[in-house]
Structure 1
Amino acid sequence: MATCPPYPTHPAGPTGGAPRHAHWWHRRWVRYGALSTLLALSGLVILALVREQTGTEGFLVGLGLAVLPVPLLVASFRWLDRVEPGPWRNLLFSFAWGACAAALIAIVANSFATRWIATATADPSHADTLGATVIAPVVEELAKAAAVLLVFLFRRRDFTGIVDGVVIAGVTATGFAFTENILYLGTAFGTDQLTGDSGIASVTAATFFVRVIMSPFAHPLFTVLTGIGFGIAALSGDRQHVRRVLLPLLGLLFAMGMHALWNGSSAFGEYGFFGVYATLMVPAFGLLTWLVIWTRQRELRTVREELPAYVAAGWLSPSAPFTLGSMRDRRVARQYARRQGGRKAARAVAQYEAYATSLAFLRHRGRRGRAGADYVVREQELLHELWARREFARPALEHAAAAQAWTAYGHPQPGPAVHQQLYGSTYPQPYGPTYPQPYGHPHGQPYGQLNGPGPAPGYGSVAPYPLYNPYRS
């Protein structure tokens, strides 16, 4: 059985000789080390600042209460990202940036701006109001948006649409809110202690109710607007420079505006907070939730529509596009793999599902003229990853397809017959008789044509993959 060729770890030099050596800054360990050091130092400084303001006991109480909503929020954003899950390192970076770097920037900048305004106006109360409604929303949303921008620029392959923007922005804001809640809850606990109350008393309980029970999604909701702007920009073509710049800025402005309205709600009277909460925050949360779920369903439809091209070329089994386009069938496939081959098999199937989804999105962007210059290389890499996991994934996906047919019709119909009954045709043909390939590939199909070994038109004299049907070898 033929195997896929390995990929070089470094590109060749200009003359095709020895591989070029990247500049020291482009070495992964250098960048990761610098970033980890920056976040660790920020964490230590913010830890010292919060502890100084709340005291040790207040810090521990605030930490214990502030951590409660974090697992639920992170799990919610991870659930939204299940169609094409991004790597955990992106989420860890986002949370750490929000909790450490963004929180440190906000505390220092807000304190400096508030003191400057108080000195300039000789009115501390006016400075506090202006700082909360104008300075804080601008500074905090800029600090959180920096994490989204960094992922957008340096992890571009993992940032392909609206859901990615929502997830990165939401996790960043969750980290920021975590640190801010420690500060507010710890300060409230200290206030209760000064009044002679023991344990968690009225001020702490009220703060916990407002910040953790009523509005744990407040900061994520604001920053998600910035993430949506970056997500739409990610869907734009490389030549649409104005759109790629204006959309994130527009999302950032909306985030700042909603944040300012939320912080200034107390100025609208005794019930201003509850009025803004009921008329703005809850509807906005519902609308954004609907948008993200609708986008997720659209992504699954893209998987079902794009992957049949790779079925026709022989890279995927006939039932794969429809199984991969259903979250239920994906789960059934992973469960079957775990029963048959343990955690290693289940992990391989999960990775197969993620790579296949990335392949579908890549082809979708290519057909719309929005793929980058590395389209061909990226397609090679994804096909290579699928091929390496085929032994675990193929039987699991076929089992899920058969299980779906059994559920729908009361009898198993594996293979194309399943989809003839479920979808009305063996395979959808969204491209007509041939499958157009972006950038003018004359053969009009993905890698792995069925015409036997030989050179691949459009890719040079040597085929990047053996041109055979992998499911017939």
Structure 2
Amino acid sequence: MSEPCPQRLDPSPAIPVYEQQERLGDLWTAVPEPARRRYRPRRAFWRHRALRAGAVFTLLALCGLVILALVRDQTGTQGFLVGLGLAVLPVPLLMAAFRWLDRVEPGPWANLWFSFAWGACAAALVAIIANSFATEWLATATADPASAESLGATVIAPVVEESAKATAILLIFLFRRRDFTGLVDGVVVAGFTATGFAFTENILYLGSAFGEDQNMGSSGFASVTAATFFVRVVMSPFAHPLFTVLAGIGFGLAAMASRRHRIRRFVFPLLGLALSMGMHALWNGSSALFGPYGFYVVYAAFMVPLFALLTWLAIWTRQRELRTISAELPAYAEAGWLTPAAPQALSSMRARTMARHFAGRTFGSGAARSVGEYEAFATSLAFLRHRAHRDPVGPDFIERERELLHHLWQRKDIAGPALTFAARATGRVRVPPPYVDYDGYNPYRQY
């Protein structure tokens, strides 16, 4: 029999914590066995995770092979390799930036890799085929290839590309609902999807530019390749992510909406998608709208302010998530599930990092990993309880809460002292000096 742990709290906000504690009294319950217990609701066979993962992997692999053949056919082998080498440069930067925003409750890497692969393979393939077909049809209908290409880039391309990218956000919103809980999740998923799409598109543009330089004999800074690299990779690497993030914000607001407001769950994603299409159309049609300097006008008047606004919004939302943690977790600390200092330490990114480093220096890398897992489970628990204040408790709420509390209790011996040390070191909370046992062991001392 494992060590007993406190009784689970009632998540209803209508019952004060002190009344819950009086009701619980001295009741105790044992930790369920086995230790790696997980809650898995029953699903139909066609919704089984392995089956769906295999189907998605096969689809993306086929799209990747087709897009590889199409891009190589348009750029040539040498142009493809040059475009690939240059297009990959901004990808780690963009991924790191969006992952940094997701530090409070990091989403599974599987979702993010799926988003990137969808943007790079499936969305890019749909965009190439649909845009080519639409441009050819417009050229035939209007008998003016130049205007058809301009109209296709300004009207057709934004609708096709943003719809294809938003499909990845929709799939994660529907089938990974547990991992998609708010605005930051929408921004991160949209950012990874758009990064993958821009990666493939940059290969095509840079490879084609290299082919033009080879035909004209140009090289150096005056080449088409250098100009394309400067515009697409240096000046506007965030262009596609900015467009798609607007749709991601719409899905994030829909995830935050109460179940009583079902209309918002449909209106917000559609509004976000419409805004992303409009911003994309403005960017593509800048030269046609504002003349030869239209690119710089749109860049300075729209893109830079939008980038600053969305950056502020993402950081503000992350701070709001930290405030949610500090408001929801004290109930579990008073019931004995967490140490008194844990809620305040978990609501500070600096304290969380310090707790992991302390555990790693004191007990090794495995302890640091356990503290990181503890922080992730505690964050999920806080958001779960926060959602219970807005919506009626769902059928799987009790099992999900029990699962999270179980994982926290397994890691409390390592995470408790580490988080208390971090809370004291960062001044988040005042706690009494640590107890030193008869062997001289001090859980807060850096051995």
What range is the shorter-chain TM-score in?
0.7 to 0.9
CA, structure 1 residues 87+201, in 2 after alignment: closer, same or farther (shift >3 Å)? same
CA, structure 1 residues 186+5, in 2 after alignment: closer, same or farther (shift >3 Å)? same
The answer to whether the Cα contact below 8 Å between 1:237 and 1:371 also exists between their aligned partners in 2 is no
Distance 2:393 2:253 in 1: 14
Matched with 2:298 is: 276
Q: 2:386 aligns with which of 339, 355, 364?
A: 364
Identity of aligned residues (%): 70
In the alignment, structure 1 residue 239 sits paired with structure 2 residue 260 = yes
Q: What TM-score, normalized to structure 2?
A: 0.87
Distance 2:145 2:38 in 1: 62
Distance 2:90 2:314 in 1: 21
Q: Could you tell me how far 1:363 is from its partner in structure 2?
A: 0.8
Distance 2:264 2:134 in 1: 32
Q: 2:195 aligns with which of 174, 187, 209?
A: 174
Distance 1:415 1:115 in 2: 75
Q: 1:57 aligns with which of 59, 78, 88?
A: 78
The answer to whether the Cα contact below 8 Å between 1:189 and 1:201 also exists between their aligned partners in 2 is no
Matched with 1:39 is: 60
Q: Could you tell me how far 1:403 is from its partner in structure 2?
A: 1.3
Distance 2:127 2:370 in 1: 42
Q: 1:265 aligns with which of 268, 283, 286?
A: 286
Matched with 2:376 is: 354
| 1:154 partner letter | F
Distance 1:314 1:39 in 2: 47
Q: Could you tell me how far 1:120 is from its partner in structure 2?
A: 1.2
Alignment of 1:281-292 (within 5 A): 281-292=303-314
Residues 304-325 of structure 1: CA deviation (Å, up to 9, x unaligned):
0110000111100000000000
In the alignment, structure 1 residue 399 sits paired with structure 2 residue 421 = yes
Matched with 1:162 is: 183
The answer to whether the Cα contact below 8 Å between 1:192 and 1:200 also exists between their aligned partners in 2 is no
CA, structure 1 residues 85+8, in 2 after alignment: closer, same or farther (shift >3 Å)? closer
The answer to whether the Cα contact below 8 Å between 1:398 and 1:415 also exists between their aligned partners in 2 is no
Distance 2:433 2:335 in 1: 15
Aligned length: 403
Q: Could you tell me how far 1:387 is from its partner in structure 2?
A: 1.2
Distance 2:272 2:433 in 1: 44
Distance 1:347 1:265 in 2: 49
The answer to whether the Cα contact below 8 Å between 1:235 and 1:370 also exists between their aligned partners in 2 is no
| 2:71 partner letter | V
The answer to whether the Cα contact below 8 Å between 1:188 and 1:203 also exists between their aligned partners in 2 is yes
Structure 1 runs, 4 residues or longer, greater than 6 Å off: none
Distance 1:254 1:41 in 2: 31
Distance 1:100 1:334 in 2: 37
Q: 1:146 aligns with which of 144, 162, 167?
A: 167
CA, structure 1 residues 68+10, in 2 after alignment: closer, same or farther (shift >3 Å)? closer
Q: 1:387 aligns with which of 399, 409, 413?
A: 409
Q: 1:414 aligns with which of 409, 426, 431?
A: 431
CA, structure 1 residues 125+217, in 2 after alignment: closer, same or farther (shift >3 Å)? same
Give RMSD over aligned pairs. Answer: 1.8
Matched with 1:337 is: 359
The answer to whether the Cα contact below 8 Å between 2:39 and 2:400 also exists between their aligned partners in 1 is no
Q: Could you tell me how far 1:121 is from its partner in structure 2?
A: 1.2
Q: 2:155 aligns with which of 134, 151, 157?
A: 134
The answer to whether the Cα contact below 8 Å between 1:329 and 1:401 also exists between their aligned partners in 2 is yes
SS at match of 2:339: coil
Q: Could you tell me how far 1:98 is from its partner in structure 2?
A: 0.5
In the alignment, structure 1 residue 318 sits paired with structure 2 residue 335 = no
The answer to whether the Cα contact below 8 Å between 1:62 and 1:181 also exists between their aligned partners in 2 is yes
Residues 312-361 of structure 1: CA deviation (Å, up to 9, x unaligned):
11100000000000000000000011112222111111111111111111
| 1:238 partner letter | R
| 1:367 partner letter | H
Q: 1:109 aligns with which of 130, 133, 143?
A: 130
CA, structure 1 residues 372+254, in 2 after alignment: closer, same or farther (shift >3 Å)? farther
Residues 257-277 of structure 1: CA deviation (Å, up to 9, x unaligned):
000000000112111110000
Distance 1:372 1:169 in 2: 27
Q: What TM-score, normalized to structure 1?
A: 0.82
Distance 1:238 1:150 in 2: 19
